[in-house]
Amino acid sequence: MELTWEVVFCLGIALLIHILIFIFVMAKRPKSIVGRHVVITGGSKGIGLCLAVECAMKGANVTVIARDEKMLRGAIALLEVIRQRPEQKFQHRSLDIGSDYDQVARVLGELEESVGDIYAMINCAGMAICGLFEEVAVEDVHKLMNVNFFGSYNCTRYVLPKMKKAGEGIIVLTSSQAAIFGIYGYGPYAASKYALRAMAETIAMESRSHGVSVTLALPCDTNTTGFEEEEKSKPRETKIISGGGGLIEPEVIAKAILKDALKGNFISIVGAQSWLITMLGGALMPWDGFFTNLLHATIIGPVRLLGYGLHKHFNGIIRKCAREDRALKASKSDDIKVEQ
């Protein structure tokens, strides 16, 4: 067949039709949570509270779970202020998700009886303890794994089989950029977040055909009270390295997470730096959209060099801090000698 302009024209039209079909038909429509039961752990502050607000704005029945009763009542009072529909139901449960599975299962079971089956389980409860590997206390590492991993594991373990049976549901797991790239001072924290990431990837693959979507949130530094707390224990190197990505407001992260969760996107990230790191470190994660994958395929080669540069840059920071520490020590011992 000769390549006449008619053939080229027809091919062009066919391509255009495919692209239009892709954009308008295949594009995911967000799910609705109006009147649906959404449970949010860690929902009394930070990203969790912002998510509770977003879900309430979208008309959901919201249950917030956290430990502190007073903060929980504050969260519910806030939800009442932004109530969208008179029949919306807001409730809270004080629960230490670091307790045993049976207790988590019992509380979630009671919740389902009083509000209805859980349609979306948003796992936001988490904590951060930073420090050099050998500096973090052994019991703190157990605490980190317990709250960050087992807390989300136990809640997910309870709801997932029910969601699969119902053929619908949304699970959100809040991990971190530290689950893509373990950096200085984040040892056990990063390990707990990596564990969540691995769990999310697995259950996403296992649940998709059952109508359950899984979203893995990978936020960078977020301006929350938890973050302020974590800054206190952070080594200087960690602050410089991790602070390079800037500080994002929790409202922004929460909006992005809910949007991705309702669209059924697996990955939820905010900002160019998170995108870059996630693409490089998580290339095998299920990135949605053929064009997204095509884009990654074309740029990942050269961008890989950026990763190399990033490591060089971070190592430079660590060396610089070490030099400064040595100089500080030397000047201190000089002072002592002078005093003597």
CB-nearer residue toward ligand NAG: 41 or 213: 41
CB-nearer residue toward ligand NAG: 117 or 288: 117
The CA-based diameter of the chain, rounded to the nearest angstrom, is 97
Catalytic pick among 175, 192, 213, 274? 175
CB-nearer residue toward ligand NAG: 101 or 287: 101
Q: Which residues share a beta bridge with 173?
A: 123, 216
Is residue 150 close enough to count as binding ligand NAG by CB under 6 A?
A: yes
31 carries an active-site annotation: no
Is residue 123 close enough to count as binding ligand NAG by CB under 6 A?
A: no
CA–CA distance, 194 with 186 (Å, rounded to integer): 11
28 carries an active-site annotation: no
**Cβ neighbours of residue 209 under 8 Å, at least 6 residues apart?**
none
Distances in Å between the Cα of 329 and the Cα atoms of 204, 324, 333, 340 are: 51, 9, 6, 17
- Taking the alpha carbons at both ends of the chain, their separation in whole angstroms is 97
- When binding is defined by CB under 6 A, the residue of 109, 116, 161, 289 that contacts ligand NAG is 116
DSSP 3-state of 83: coil
Return the residues of window 39-68 that contact ligand NAG according to CB under 6 A.
61
- When binding is defined by CB under 6 A, the residue of 2, 6, 87, 113 that contacts ligand NAG is 87
Is residue 91 close enough to count as binding ligand NAG by CB under 6 A?
A: no
CB-nearer residue toward ligand NAG: 151 or 185: 151
CB-nearer residue toward ligand NAG: 33 or 318: 33
Minimum distance from CB of 28 to ligand NAG (Å)? 22
Catalytic pick among 193, 207, 213, 274? 193
Question: Which contacts of 189-194 are long-range, i.e. CB under 8 A and separated by 24 or more positions?
Answer: 189/128, 189/129, 189/130, 189/144, 189/148, 191/144, 191/145, 192/144, 192/145, 192/148, 192/149, 193/148
Angle between the N-to-C axes of helices 187-207 and 152-166, in degrees from 0 to 180, rounded to the nearest 10: 10
Is residue 94 close enough to count as binding ligand NAG by CB under 6 A?
A: no
**Cβ neighbours of residue 179 under 8 Å, at least 6 residues apart?**
190, 193, 194, 196, 197, 218
Return the residues of window 233-252 that contact ligand NAG according to CB under 6 A.
247
175 carries an active-site annotation: yes
Tokens of 127: 């904590």
Q: Which positions touch ligand NAG (CB under 6 A)?
A: 35-37, 61, 87, 89, 97-101, 104, 115-116, 146, 150-151, 154, 223, 247
Query: Which positions are catalytic?
Result: 175, 189, 193
